[in-house]
């Protein structure tokens, strides 16, 4: 179950990154070949990037692969490393839970806002991003539970303490 969920989250993030690349490349092609641009390409790229970021944050949180400076962590023993990982995950979860809530508040407050050219409702984009933010908060709590039990997920299936929890395996 965990492997499928993580694989689905990774797939969602990858699809939205692909859509950003296709939209941007398509717009450049249209601009140079036909002297026109794709309607709402900039707003669309912004919305797609927000979605990809929230879903990507969910994965980075679960695997503990956020960009970090490990100057102190490198010099600690195993027990203190675990304590520092627990503290960092608690802080991350304490940030992600209210953030996910506030993204849902933003979805509820969107009302009838639409994009400029195509008049696409913004709540579609915000809702998908909000689900990603919620997944990030849930996976932060899952990581906290694993660290508490002395386990941690890894992006490398061979290093993973939890059977089947690494993506792509």
What does the pLDDT look like over 54-78, one tens digit per residue?
999 999 999 888 877 788 888 989 8
Q: Residue 114 in 3-state DSSP? A: strand
Q: Give, in order, the Cα–Cα distances in Å from 157 to each of 39, 62, 161.
A: 43, 14, 9
Determine the pLDDT at residue 158: 56
Rounded Cα distance, 45 and 163, in Å: 37
Enclosing domain of residue 126:
2-148
Rounded Cα distance, 74 and 7, in Å: 30
In a domain, 165, yes or no: no
List, for residues 4-40, the tens digit of each pLDDT value. Answer: 999 999 999 999 999 999 999 999 999 999 999 999 9
In a domain, 88, yes or no: yes
Determine the pLDDT at residue 156: 62
Tally of domains within the chain: 1
Which pair of structure tokens corresponds to residue 26?
């398509």
pLDDT band at 137 (very low <50, low <70, confident <90, very high): very high
In this structure, are residues 155 and 167 in contact, taking their beta carbons and an 8 Å threshold? yes
Determine the pLDDT at residue 78: 87
In a domain, 87, yes or no: yes
Instruction: Using alpha carbons, select from 53, 44, 54, 56 the residue that is nearest to residue 20.
Output: 44
Rounded Cα distance, 166 and 162, in Å: 8
Beta-carbon count within 10 A of 141 CB: 17
What's the whole-number average pLDDT of the chain? 88
In this structure, are residues 82 and 150 in contact, taking their beta carbons and an 8 Å threshold? yes
In a domain, 161, yes or no: no
In a domain, 166, yes or no: no
In a domain, 90, yes or no: yes
In a domain, 60, yes or no: yes
In a domain, 164, yes or no: no
Lowest-confidence region among 31-35, 40-44, 91-95, 153-157:
153-157
Q: Where are the alpha helices (DSSP H) in the chain?
A: 2-34, 41-63, 78-109, 122-148
């Amino acid at each position: 179950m965990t492997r499928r969920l993580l694989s689905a989250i990774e797939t969602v993030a990858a699809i939205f990154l692909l859509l950003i690349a296709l939209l941007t490349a398509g717009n450049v092609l249209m601009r140079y070949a036909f002297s026109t641009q794709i309607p709402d390409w900039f707003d669309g790229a912004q919305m797609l990037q927000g979605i990809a970021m929230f879903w990507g944050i969910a994965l980075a949180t679960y695997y503990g692969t956020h960009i970090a400076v490990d100057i102190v962590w490198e010099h600690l023993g195993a027990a203190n490393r675990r304590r520092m990982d627990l503290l960092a995950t608690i802080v991350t979860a304490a940030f992600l839970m209210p953030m996910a809530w506030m993204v849902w508040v933003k979805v509820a407050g969107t009302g009838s806002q639409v994009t400029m050219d195509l008049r696409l409702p913004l709540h579609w984009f915000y809702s998908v991003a909000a689900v990603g933010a919620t997944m990030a908060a849930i996976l932060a709590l899952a990581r906290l539970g694993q660290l508490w039990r002395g386990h941690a997920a890894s992006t490398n299936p061979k290093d993973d303490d939890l059977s089947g929890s690494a993506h792509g395996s």
